[in-house]
Structures are given as structure tokens and as C-alpha cells.
Structure 1
Amino acid sequence: MHQAKSHTNARTLRRGLIATALAALAFTSAFTGQANAEETLRAISAFPQSLAFSQSFKGFVDLVNERGKGVIQINYAGGPEMFPPNQQVDAVRRGVIDMQYGPASYYLGTMPEADAWVGSTVTATAARENGGFAIMQEAFSKKLGVNLLAHLDAGVKFYIYTINEPKRTDDGGVDLDGQRIRSQPIYNAFFEALGAIPVSVPVPDVYTGLERNTFDGSGWPIVGIRDLSWDKFLRYRIDPGFFQTDLAVVINPAKWEGLSDDAKKVLNDAAADYEKISYDNFQKVIEETDKAVRDNGMEVITLEGDAQAKFLDLAYDSAWKRMKDSGSEHYDALRKAYYDR
């Protein structure tokens, strides 16, 4: 069942990439006959390759490999079985791995600017155009010691899911007071503001925890909930969604500097193009996932009016306050570029 759900999302993403692959063929001829030898990058991701996000990263790899024939290729070597997810960027910095794909928020303690993506309300393409992406490139370089190439798969929102129907407040909100909700650093403060008790549980242990009722719910992106089969236990979803995915592609600076100009162009162009492609593809996956969980009996609790506004204010304010409290010199510029509520 788990594999079937993962394969469904993967098929949707692959269908969305067919046109991309065809378009990529047009780029290949531009580099035919180049004197430089083909260069290869070794890449890893923070997630197992079966998950939809990793399948999307594979789409980026395929796009680069098609456009970069004879110039630049990426070898997608694996996922967390190679390096723990929260140590992968350091492996890139040290040059053990050339490229990595995963959440920027894993490194919030070192780079508080990751919250600009967490609390973003604009697309990655818009942030490239308004200067926000360039600021993030500076932050990645200065704080993490890696070059930022892309912000992929943006626009996938997070939701709160519960095992039992949540109580409602008099003003139309939800009462999560005392509820133990599986969390992670990006939404601990938000959950606490809702009265919930954030619980830290590694992803591989969540299914068992839900099965044993050791906690009452979980925060998670809409896309991954079926991949992991958590929807078997989480039967209620609180709408609207909040935040958005913060998935970065980074590359080792020395490796980048050693690439030919043609190779750099292939990577930069593919990164900008795939930001839009992956956004569009995931909108389709989101629609399919939403329909599937509803058809399977998940009940959606939709907050409206002032209750919805209050819910979203608590969410986004928690992310931006965290960055402001960190003393980031980029706070004002990033908020202007990434937040338009």
C-alpha cells in the first residue's frame, strides 16, 4: 500500500516532466562539439528515493543530464542511507559530496534565514525576480559554506492532522490545548501558540507512534501524508495549510568554481526553469492527494473568517519572529521579498 501511494505520486510527477524532457532536447545541441570533457557531480537527497520529493529532485537531475550531455551530468547516488539528513550539507561543504537536496530548515540554528522560505507566501520564481533568492544565496554561502543553486518544489503547504476530531472554540477556531502533536522546529512555536504540546519523533518512528496512540496528531506537508501511510490513522485535517516547503539544492563551492562556464550555465538555467516546473507539477500532486484522502474518508476541518486569519497569523508570525529574534541582518529584506500577506 505504501509503495502504491508513492508510485502514484511519482507517476504524476513523471507525467509532468515529459514536456520538460522534450524541451530539454533543444538545449543539447547548443553544447555539441564542446572541447571540454563532460563533468560529473555526485548528488544525494535528504529523503528516501521513493518519496515524491525525491522523485521530483530526480526530475531536476534528468533535466540537467539531458541538457548537459557532453558538458555536465549529475549522478543521483542516494538518500539518507548515505549520510544522516541533518549532516548532508556539511558533507557538501567538506567536499565529500558535490550536491545535496533537502530542507534548509534542518540548519535553522546556523542559518536562521531558512525561515524566509518556511514563512514565504511567494513562489520561488517570484523571489528570483525580486532579489530574495540572491539574499538567500548570500546566507547559504556565509552561514553554511555552500553555494545555493535552487529552491525546488516550493508551494507545498503544511497541515495539522489529528487522530480524533479536534474540539472547536467559540470563535470558530480549533482547541488543541494539551494535545500531543508530532512536530519539528519550524512549527514548534506555532503549535505551542495553539496550546498543543510539540512532540519530537523521527519520521521512521511516526507510523508506530500513531499505531500505539503515543501522540494525538502530526504536522506534515500535504503531499507526504499518503506516501508514509500516516493517513491510515490521521483522519482529520485542519485547513487552511500554512508555511511552504523549503527544499534547497546546494553545491560545493570549490566544485562549482572548477566547472566550465558551459556547465555552470546548464545548471543555473535548469535550476531556474525547474523551480517553476516543480511548482506546477506539485500543484497537480496536491490536487490528487487532497481528493484521494477525502475519498478515503479523511474529514477536513475548515477554519473561516476571523478564525482562519488568526490561525494563519499565529503560523506566519512564529516563523518571522524567530528570524527577527535571531538578529539576522537580512530580516527586513527577506520579509519584503518573501512575505506578501
Structure 2
Amino acid sequence: MTYRFSALLPAAALALAGSVQGASAEEAVLRAISAFQASTVFYDPFQLFVDRVNANGEGLVKIEVIGGPDAMPPFEIGNALRSGIVDLANTTAVYHANLVPEGLAMTLTNRPMSELRENGGYALLDQIHKDKAKLHWLGRLSENIQYHIYLSDYPENLDFGGLKVRSAPTYQAFFNGLGITPVQTAPGEVFTALERNTIDGYAWPSIGLFDLGWQEKTAARIEPGFFQVETGVYFSDKSWQALSEEQQDFLTEQMLELEAENGRFTELAKTDFARQEEEGIRAYELPAEEAAEFTAMSLEQGWKPVLAASPENGAKLRDLFVK
């Protein structure tokens, strides 16, 4: 736990007390934290959610955002929710996979949220979150956004073997299977690592590249992409249960309306790809057979930790989350 996280605890604890009292009165005041910096592409959908809740729920529910990753390290948010330090968070299951490894299913799905809500996938994963970590998964804020491998030099004949690529635990096994040497580098250090040639590239979503300035050291984006970026709204189940049924129904309704608009991310990706091309980042298309093998390996390796951590539920989730 860092100093800044510790410094947040007294204020957040008081905020929680206030929000619980608010739930029994007319208006519930909920304190939120974000794993993503304000004014970035993965924060914006959450800001839209907050704005709509506050505009449409006046007198019923109000959300106050008390900080971002500068106030609480993203990997601490799951524990903060579980212990009730904050009421809700804009985060990703990747950041609390130590608590709920099954949450990675959302990164591996190729079904839209509308189908997962209909086929029982959402209900199952929400229940797993409650049972394992006392969290309530309200819904998904981003869809149809894949990860890509970006390289500092455009390859003539791509050979993954020997490449050093900035990675994350979520797709480390996949990179190992490709022959890539995964390198753990903080986002703030990636530009320098590219500049010094200590890494050959990095994995990042199809959007958000320009928030970080990495385009200056990037020449190629490998196609196809892999996995899916998942961000969502997660509640402390204690805070959720303290709300009235009317308040819960209202928040769920706001999330469902936002999820219905998630098709906009496809257009965002197209816009970012066009801008990448303007900046000199060219798409490198794997041949059809290699692309199929690439995609198959990503799913095979991606599901391994989920199935290993939870064989029974992992198998159920895979059946529900993958077409």
C-alpha cells in the first residue's frame, strides 16, 4: 500500500459512512475511484456514466469521483472495493484478477454484453465476483476494442521469436507461445525504453495510443488484434446492498443504456487507425494461415489461467462467453 493510498483511507471511510446514511435517506451519495486518468479514452465512458447518473438521478443517487490512479494504485482498487473503502470504481477485472481470476473471461469473450446478459454469462460472473471478493459487477464500459502488438520498426518478414515486447500478465503466456520475450515495463517508462531500444515494441489497445505519445516511436501495428479490452463499473457489494431497490434499478438502467451504445467503439478504432496511418504507423497483416493460428493460440493460452484457477466455473464461462 502506497502513502497516497493510505492517505486516502480516512476520507474514503468517512465518505462511505456518508453514502450508507444517504442510502437510507432520500439521496445516496456514492464515492468513486478510477483506475484510468481523467480525460483519457478509457476514462471518458465512465465520465459519461457519472454525468448521466447525476443528471437523471437528482435526489436519488449522486456519484462523486474522488480520484484516479494518482490517488489509488489500480491494482489496489479490488481490495478497496472489497473492504468498502470506496463504493464503486471505473476499473477492469484484469486489475483484480488476483481476487477473481475468472474475471479474465471478459477479456477473452467474443460475445456482446447484450448476449451475455441474455445467456446467463453476466449473471454467473457477477455471482462469482460476489462470492469471491464481495464485489458487484454493474456492467461493461468498453467493447469491440482489441489489443495489438505495436513495433518501433516496420518488419519486412515478421518473426516473433526473439522480439522483446512490453507485456502484461494477462497475455504473457500467449507471448511466450509466440516466442516473444515479454518485458514488464510501467506505462510511464515505455517511451524511454523504445527510445533506448531496450524493447522492440509493446502491446496496447487499438485506441488510446495518442494519450501517451508513443506514436512518435512506433512504425507498425500487427494485424490481427487479440483479446478484448474490458473496462467496467464495479461496486462494493456492501455499498450496493445498502442502496434501495429503486436506487439499484436506476443505476442498472443507466448502465444498460450506456452498454447499448458500445458500438461506438468500433468507430473510435477506425478513427484511431486512420490517425495512426497519418502518423506513419502502418498495419502489418499476417498471412491468412498465420493469422488464424495467431488467433487460435491467443484464445487457447488466454483461457488456461481461468481454467486452472477455476476448472468448473471456467468451463461454464468459456461455453457462455465464446461463440
TM-score for both structures, normalised by structure 2: 0.89
Equivalent residues of 1:156, 1:222 under 8 A apart: yes
- The aligned residue for residue 333 of structure 1 is 316
Aligned residue number for residue 64 of structure 2 = 75
Q: Does structure 1 retain, via aligned residues, the 8 Å contact 2:78–2:95?
A: no
Picking from 201, 208, 227, the partner of 1:217 is: 201
**Aligned partner letter, 2:254:** A
User: Is the 1:148–1:251 contact (alpha carbons within 8 Å) kept by the matching residues of 2?
Assistant: yes
Equivalent runs, 1:24-43 vs 2, <5 Å: 36-43=25-32
1:316 corresponds in structure 2 to: 299
Deviations 1:113-166 (A, max 9, x none): 122111111112221111111111012112222111112212211000011123
State the distance in 2 between where 1:98 and 1:244 align: 26
| CA displacement 1:261-294 (0-9 Å, x = unmatched) | 22111111111221222x2222221111011001
Structure 2 distance, partners of 1:135, 1:167, is 46
In the alignment, structure 1 residue 119 sits paired with structure 2 residue 103: no
Q: 1:154 aligns with which of 138, 143, 150?
A: 143
Does residue 136 of the first structure (1) align with residue 125 of the second (2)? yes
What residue is the counterpart of 2:7 in the other structure?
none
Letter in 1 for 2:185: V
- Where 1:110 maps in the other structure, the secondary structure is coil
Paired letter, 2:76:
Q
Aligned mates of 1:69, 1:328 — CA distance in 2: 44
Residue number in structure 1 paired with 2:8: none
Secondary structure at the residue paired with 1:70? coil
Using the alignment, how far apart are the partners of 1:89 and 1:176 within structure 2?
34
- Give the Cα separation in 2 of the matches to 1:227 and 1:213: 21
Note the C-alpha offset of 1:192: 1.0
Distance 1:294 1:220 in 2: 16
Q: Does 1:189 align with 2:178?
A: no
Contact 1:124 1:152 in 2 (8 A): no
Q: How does 1:220-259 map to 2 (within 5 A)?
A: 220-259=204-243
**Structure 1 residue 330 displacement after superposition:** 1.0
User: What CA distance in whole angstroms lies between the structure 2 residues aligned with 1:254 and 1:106?
Assistant: 20
- SS at the partner of 1:330? helix
Residue 238 of structure 1 aligns to a residue whose secondary structure is strand
Structure 1 match to 2:53: 64
Distance (whole Å) between structure 2 residues aligned to residue 40 and residue 327 of structure 1:
36
Q: Unaligned stretches of 5+ in structure 1?
A: 1-34, 169-173
Shift of 1:110: 2.8
Mapped to 2, the partners of 1:146 and 1:109 lie a distance apart of 13
Counterpart residue number, 2:266: 283
Aligned residues with identical type, % of pairs: 32
Q: Give the aligned residue type for 2:116.
A: A
Partner deviation per Cα, 1:13-43 (whole Å, 9 max, x = no partner): xxxxxxxxxxxxxxxxxxxxxx951111111
- Which is worse superposed, 46-55 or 326-335? 326-335
Mapped partners of 1:290, 1:167: distance in 2: 20
Q: C-alpha separation between the residues in 2 aligned to 1:304 and 1:71?
A: 55
Aligned to 2:278: 295
TM-score (norm 1): 0.84
Question: 222, 243, 261: which one pairs with 2:245?
Answer: 261
Match for residue 271 of structure 1? 255
Aligned AA (1:314): M
Conserved 8 A contact 2:134-2:238: no
- Separation of aligned partners in 1, 2:97 and 2:238: 24
Equivalenced residue count is 300
Shift of 1:305: 1.9
User: Alignment RMSD, CA only?
Assistant: 1.5
Shift of 1:167: 5.3
User: Cα offset for 1:296?
Assistant: 1.6
Read off the aligned partner of 1:323 and give its amino acid letter.
V
Counterpart amino acid of residue 31 in structure 2: R
Matching of residue 95 in structure 1 with residue 79 in structure 2: no
Report runs of 4+ in structure 1 exceeding 4 Å deviation.
Answer: none
Q: Using the alignment, how far apart are the partners of 1:328 and 1:139 within structure 2? A: 13
SS at structure 2 position matched to 1:316: helix
2:43 is paired with a residue of what secondary structure?
helix
1:276-334 deviation digits (Å, cap 9, x = unpaired): 22x22222211110110012211111123211100101111111122112234212221
Aligned residue runs from structure 1 range 168-179, under 5 A: 168=157, 174-179=158-163
* Matched residue type, 1:211: E
Q: Amino acid of the residue matched to residue 281 of structure 1?
A: R
Q: SS of the residue aligned with 1:300?
A: strand
Check the 8 A contact 1:239/1:302 in 2, yes or no: yes
